[in-house]
Amino acid sequence: MSSRRSRSRQSGSSRITEDQIADLVSKLQQLIPEIRNRRSDKQVSASKVLQETCNYIRSLHREVDDLSQRLSELLASSDTDSDQAAIIRSLLM
Amino acid sequence: MTPPARLNASASSPCRLRTRFVLRFLKTLVKIKRSTPPPPSPSLSLTSSPEKIGRHSQRIKLAAYSSMARAVGQRRAWSRALMLKLKLSDKRKNRYRWLAARKMKQQKTLRRGCGRILATKRNRSEKGSPSRSCSGVDELRRLVPGGEAMDLGVLLEETAHFVRCLETQVRVMSIIADCFP
């Protein structure tokens, strides 16, 4: 892998080989749960991986929106500081 | 189940990243909570206005993204781009402009992307390479902070890291939300 990288650096241009891109796309494929859970043996096309990645990122953004809405409602209703100590303890230990 | 790594232990980087994010995010949450005055009587707390909740949820969302970007630090291009964007919008003292600027940027890159798609569609019909979808890449560039300026290889790496960090963010926020009684 490092030899491949040094070879592309020696060429001086920003051109990346198709192999490297395929490698990165397959790494991305492992992260997307939609594709990971399908467990199909045939190769998923790169455009499909990119599409699923975009959808996944958008769904994560939506989840963050929902969670921040939920957190703001909870913050507005709770009044003790002991909750926060319990949260910190449960997250860090 | 193995217990999560402690702060002082030489933990693997995902745990350290999560800890850094958690600390910053919680500090900001406490700050947001302290900035809201408590309701004068318990009966009025139920009528906490939806606009106030909406404003706070925007602040919390920004706090989450900025805590995550700061926890990653200068190591990644996307976190650098995101921190710069947030700093610029903060300097103007108008946080909502960050969202408006993002929308404007999306429209600008959409217009630019259309031109690029038209050009590459012509090339694609000549070359016939089905593996690379240019519209998919353009959309990814819009979603990842700083994506417009990156090469394809760098963009894919940054996307992988960005997705992992977003997952961590969602997981932490849902744990915090579940901890409240």
Half-sphere exposure of A77 (CA within 13 A, CB side): 12
Closest Cβ opposite residue A45 in set B38, B131, B164: B131
- Are B38 and A79 an interchain contact pair (Cβ–Cβ within 8 Å)? yes
Give SS3 for A23. Answer: helix
Kindly report, residue by residue over B22-54, the tens digit of the pLDDT: 878 787 777 777 776 655 555 555 546 778 778
* Residue A7 touches partner B, C-beta closer than 8 Å: no
pLDDT of B175: 85
ipTM rounded to 2 decimals: 0.74
DSSP state of B46: T
Mean pLDDT, range B133-148, rounded to an integer: 83
Q: What token pair was written down for B92?
A: 């103007």
A:41-60 residues touching chain B, CB 8 A cutoff: 45-47, 50-51, 53-54, 56-58, 60
Q: What is the pLDDT of residues B57-115, one digit of tens each?
A: 888 888 888 888 888 888 888 889 998 888 888 776 566 666 777 877 777 776 666 65
Please give the residue of chain B at the shortest CA–CA distance from A73.
B53
Q: pTM score, two decimals? A: 0.68
Letter string b/e over residues A52-91, b meaning 16 or more CB atoms within 10 A of that residue's CB: bbbebbeebeebbeebbbbbbbbbbeeeeeebbeebbeeb
